[in-house]
Amino acid sequence: MKRAVMFCSMVLCASGCDRPSASPAVQHVALAGELSTQSAFDTNCRGCHSQGAEGAALPLVNANYWKVATDATIIQAISHGQGRSMPAYLASEGGPFTAEQITSLVHGMRTLWGDGQPGGGGGISPVLTAGSASAGALVFSTACASCHAGQGTAGSVVDPMYLRMISDQGLWSAVVYGRSELGMPAWNQAMPGRPTGLSAQEVCDVVSWISSQRVSNEKVTK
Q: Does 85 bind ligand HEC (CB under 6 A)?
A: yes
Closer to ligand HEC at the Cβ: 137 or 206?
A: 206
Phi-psi region of 36 (alpha: psi -120 to 50; beta: other; left: phi over 0): beta
Provide the minimum distance between the beta carbon of 165 and ligand HEC in the complex, in angstroms, as a whole number. 6
Contacting ligand HEC (CB under 6 A), which of 90, 124, 166, 204? Answer: 166
- Determine which residue in the list 187, 204, 208, 211 makes contact with ligand HEC, applying CB under 6 A: 187
Q: Does 64 engage in binding with ligand HEC (CB under 6 A)?
A: no
71's CB contacts (< 8 A; 6+ apart) are: 103, 106, 107, 110, 119
Q: Which is nearer to ligand HEC, 9 or 27 (CB)?
A: 9
Per CB under 6 A, 155 contacts ligand HEC: yes
Neighbours of 190 (CB within 10 A): 12
Residue 124: CB atoms within 10 Å: 19
Query: What distance in Å separates the CA atoms of residue 48 and residue 41, rounded to the nearest whole number?
Result: 10
Distance from the first to the final alpha carbon of the chain: 22
Torsion, Cα 96 98 102 104, to 10 degrees, reads: -130
Q: Which stretch binds ligand HEC (CB under 6 A): 17-25, 29-37, 110-118, 155-163?
A: 155-163
CB of 137 to ligand HEC, least distance (A): 11
With binding defined as CB under 6 A, does residue 144 bind ligand HEC? yes
What type of residue is 29?
A: V
Q: Please say whether the beta carbons of 78 and 106 come within 8 A.
A: yes
| 74 is a contact residue toward ligand HEC (CB under 6 A) | yes
- Chain positions contacting ligand HEC, by CB under 6 A: 2, 7, 44-45, 47-49, 56-58, 69, 74, 77-78, 82-83, 85-87, 89, 143-144, 146-148, 155-157, 166-167, 169-171, 173-175, 179, 182-185, 187, 198, 206
